[in-house]
Amino acid sequence: MESNQNLFSETAWHRAGGGPRYLQLSRHIARAIQDGRLEQGFQLPPERDLADLGNVSRVTVRKAVGELVDAGLVEQKRGSGSFVLGATPRTQQSLSTLVSFTENLEARGQTSSSRILSRGLFAPSPDEMMALGLASNQRVARIERLRYADDVPMALERSSIPSDILSDPDQVTTSLYQVLRRRNQAPSRAIQRVIAVNVPADDAELMGVAENTALLKISRTAFLISGRPIEYTQGLYRPDIYDFVAEIRPDGGS
């Protein structure tokens, strides 16, 4: 196992322009856990020692470890310290920010990948016509993808985009939003609805779970800044390793 001096030193993880130091440190430790350099049960150095090794403040270390705890990679035991967990990490997705699956995983130090199950141009279904404001004689691009985090299937997403926004669905290999941004047509806001469903046999096999397992179903309609709806996605997500988190603030009323 790599020595603490080398693994946690500032030169091992800090990159100028790489973002906040606490995020760089937490991602570095997350990668070390995922590739086996830090094994299950390993006790992280005390907060003061980590701060000295990384040439950062104890506040930075505390925030970095907090990210690892939230991701399910580290457990803090009162009076004992912080320990590496061996279970599959849970990934969090904010319901309050519009970010792609790929970008969310990369921000948490995980490797994302996609398996394209089907894609093409089709006549819109009634649901697509209603969600995207399309007429029956228009076309819609459909992309069905199985999404992975560190080679673990986490989500099954079926996305629909008007053909004048995405004329060639073969352009999408990983991130749909990256393709839309290159065309200056990325959504600026979205409405998402979350329900629990029992997954049918075909989808269960793809997701690596038993038939009728309860999964989270997310229906999202995303809009351009003009208000035009340009994305309709329905996704199934494994709740055992994927958390959706929403920030709630007071509205100023009594």
Dist CA 210 CA 198 (whole Å): 10
Dist CA 254 CA 221 (whole Å): 32
Q: Which residue has the higher pLDDT, 165 or 252?
A: 165
pTM over 0.75: no
Tokens representing 44 are 């992280």
Q: How much of the chain exceeds pLDDT 90, in percent? A: 39
Q: What is the pLDDT of residue 86?
A: 59
Check whether domain 4-84 has CATH 1.10.10.10, yes or no: yes
Q: Which residue has the higher pLDDT, 95 or 72?
A: 72
* pLDDT-wise least confident of 51-55, 90-94, 118-122: 90-94
State phi, psi for 52 to the nearest 5 degrees.
Answer: -65, -45
Q: Which residue has the higher pLDDT, 252 or 128?
A: 128
Mean predicted confidence (pLDDT) in 73-101: 68
Q: Is residue 48 scored above 90 in pLDDT?
A: yes
Mean predicted confidence (pLDDT) in 20-45: 85
Q: What is the pLDDT of residue 79?
A: 82
Structural domain spans, the chain: 4-84, 91-245
Q: Is residue 249 scored above 60 in pLDDT?
A: no
Mean predicted confidence (pLDDT) in 16-45: 85
Q: What is the mean pLDDT of the chain?
A: 83
Q: Is residue 11 scored above 70 in pLDDT?
A: yes
Q: What is the pLDDT of residue 253?
A: 45
Q: Is residue 252 scored above 70 in pLDDT?
A: no
Select from 245, 244, 222, 246 the least CA-distant residue to 233.
222
Instruction: Please write the tens of the pLDDT for every residue from 163-221.
Output: 999 999 999 987 888 899 888 898 888 898 889 899 999 998 898 888 888 888 989 99
Check whether domain 91-245 has CATH 3.40.1410.10, yes or no: yes
Dist CA 24 CA 14 (whole Å): 6
Q: What is the pLDDT of residue 66?
A: 86
Tokens representing 9 are 């030193």
Confidence of residue 254 (pLDDT cuts 50, 70, 90): very low
Q: Is residue 1 scored above 50 in pLDDT?
A: no
Q: What is the pLDDT of residue 99?
A: 56
